[in-house]
Amino acid sequence: MISKEFVQEIPKTDLHVHLDGSLRISTLIELARAQNVKLPSYTEEGLLEQVFKIHYQNLPEYLQGFGFTCAVMQDPESLERISYELAMDNAAEGVRYLEVRFAPQLHINENVDMETVLVSVNKGMERARKELNGNLGDPDIPPFEYGIIACSLRFFVRQLSPYYARFMDAHAFSRSKEIYALASQELARAVVEIRDRSGIPVVGLDLAGAEAGYPAGDHIAAYQYAHKNFMKKTVHAGEAYGAESIFQAITDLHADRIGHGYQLFDRAAITDPEIKDPDDYIAKLSEFIADRRITIEVCLTSNMQTNPDLHDIRKHTFQEMINRDLSVTLCTDNRLVSRTTVIDEILLALNNFSITPSRLRDIIIYGFKRSFFPGTYTEKRRYVHEVIDYYQKVCAKYEGAH
């Protein structure tokens, strides 16, 4: 029996966590009061009842909370504070490596530009890193490290942010999909330049948002630019669309990892009439993913909340991913919106799927091995070995847990 105490102590990662979905609820309330941002309630109980629920009716209801969180993330001080708190909260539950992702475009306004957004988030993460690593206690504990992932969006409207409103005005005669593609290209160019000039650890590019009707292929130019400039790539795919979306993310966008991948094995989700045998297509794609160790960032609680048909977590395709020996890592997606933590996600998996201690070790270590670690390859290898050694130390302490 793998205990909660064991899960708490082992070194962990979270490679898929959205900054604007992971605020402390107390911070949201405090910042909203200070900034005169209107909330449905100014008590934690009220917000948990009305906005950040355990169960959601559908994806639009799930996304409602982001309007409130983004509203208080429009200045450098708030961005730095929220980033710092996210790092500290993760470290408190044994997370040693964190990749925080967000769309900088949602926080740009007349007083804040792209670089200021990234600098502010990095300040918060770096401040936490210095504090944590200056007080490790046990010299065998791996240091806390982090990376930043910038999200482009498959689809947006002008109401999302002043930046998007100006962007759409500047391309008034372009078709909507062309505008979305151009915005992704602009983001890719911006984060590469800011990374190279400032040294901020922007380690990856992500593509988020509605899959249906907004294919990853529209963003090939942005991802090709990131690819040519040695930036890692992840793509939200297979969250609300099928295997074809995942295949396109891997082949056209050079995805190193896949966010969610939940619909990978759904033969009914395959719509291409040229695919005559969906089962064969899924089998070959699964082998392709497994062979190349393309890691799937699994978010169990979030998938339950955004897929109304998934009433039983044991029906989640995570077990099938394990059975096919795919590289998987457990992530939170949104700590506040999904009301979860890394420990919660690991325990949810352990309690509902067939996971041996050896398999758990693989899942945990994959998170470190397949991270977009900002250092050199040699530094990453050294760090992963530190993690493995410490994991074994915790196993020895708990004996039967390994």
Supply angle C-alpha 149, 151, 155, rounded to 5: 170
Domain range summary for the chain, segments of one domain joined by +: 4-401
- What CATH superfamily is the domain 4-401? Metal-dependent hydrolases (3.20.20.140)
DSSP letter for each residue of 217-241: GGGHHHHHHHHHTT-EEEEEESSSS
Residue 58 pLDDT more than 90? no
- Cβ-count burial 38-50 (b if 16+ within 10 Å, e if not): ebeeeeeeebeee
Residues 325-334 have pLDDT tens digits of 999 999 999 9
Pairwise pLDDT comparison (52 vs 210), residue with the higher score = 52
Give Cβ neighbours of residue 45 (< 8 Å, ≥ 6 apart): none
Residue 207 pLDDT more than 60? yes
Residues 132-141 have pLDDT tens digits of 999 888 889 9
Token digits for 319? 């077990």
Q: How far apart are CA 211 and CA 244, in angstroms?
A: 11
Q: How far apart are CA 7 and CA 363, in angstroms?
A: 12
Residues 210-221 have pLDDT tens digits of 888 899 999 999
Partners of 233 in the β-ladder = 205
In the chain, the amino acid numbered 354 is S
- Cβ-count burial 340-378 (b if 16+ within 10 Å, e if not): bbbbbbbbbbbebbebebeebbbbbbbbbbbbbbbeeee
Residue 401 pLDDT more than 80? no
As a whole number, the mean pLDDT across the chain is: 95
